[in-house]
Amino acid sequence: MPKVDVYDLKGKKVSDIELAESVFGIEPNENIVHSVLVNYLANQRQGTQSTKTRAEVSGGGRKPWRQKGTGRARQGSTRSPQWIKGGIALGPKPRSYRYTVNKKERRLAIKSILSSKVLEKELTVVDKLEVKEIKTKTMAKALVDLKVEGKTLIVLPENNKNVLMSSRNIEGVKTITANNINVFDLLKYTNLILSVDTVKKLEEVYA
């Protein structure tokens, strides 16, 4: 069972915590992570791109010249794809890219990344993620004290306005709640900061 240190926001070790083997100690499955990531990105696509076919552009009502005798290639409309201002052949139309993956696969992908964070020592656990007032300087100092550098994802057990507002202007830092955790954010951000309450909540959901 993995065991990690627990710090306060001043970077001082206050205790340690044993993490659930079934959530933070499994062997990461890269294939499942890739599959779920591709699904997440596909589901984010809007699919609103659209081009006009020859039936939708204006003009081209009559045949530009007679079929034979002019020496030019035969043409039926000035709005065929080869003409300037003509329609687009085989262009994109609005569509949905959404598809689903098995719920067990999504859960396994999350657990695989959480476990890899522990293995690579990219997980920091703090006793409480709370600040008294909305102040970016306070959160920035906390990250320095915790010796967290680079892209960082902070996961809260529940919505906390002070923490969200204090961290949103720090470059490379994103704050989300535990129920919004996803494969894309876990992979995009190198460092992961969880509170003890967040750890317990994740273990309840994914164990």
User: For position 1, what pLDDT does the model report?
Assistant: 78
Give the confidence band of 23 by pLDDT, cuts at 50, 70, 90. very high
User: For position 60, what pLDDT does the model report?
Assistant: 84
User: Per-residue pLDDT for 82 more than 90?
Assistant: yes
User: Per-residue pLDDT for 71 more than 90?
Assistant: yes
In three-state form (DSSP H/G/I as H, E/B as E, the rest C), the secondary structure along the chain is CCEEEEECCCCCEEEEEECCHHHHCCCCCHHHHHHHHHHHHHHHCCCCCCCCCCCCCCCCCCCCCCCCCCCCCCCCCCCCCCCCCCCCCCCCCCCCCCCCCCHHHHHHHHHHHHHHHHHCCCEEEECCCCCCCCCHHHHHHHHHHCCCCCCEEEEECCCCHHHHHHHCCCCCEEEEEHHHCCHHHHHHCCEEEEEHHHHHHHHHHHC
User: For position 175, what pLDDT does the model report?
Assistant: 96
The predicted-structure confidence for 149-184, as pLDDT tens digits, reads as follows: 899 999 999 999 999 999 999 999 999 999 999 999
The predicted-structure confidence for 100-125, as pLDDT tens digits, reads as follows: 999 999 999 999 999 999 999 999 99
Range 3-45+102-206 classified under CATH 3.40.1370.10: yes
Q: Give start-end residues of each CATH 3.40.1370.10 domain in the chain.
A: 3-45+102-206
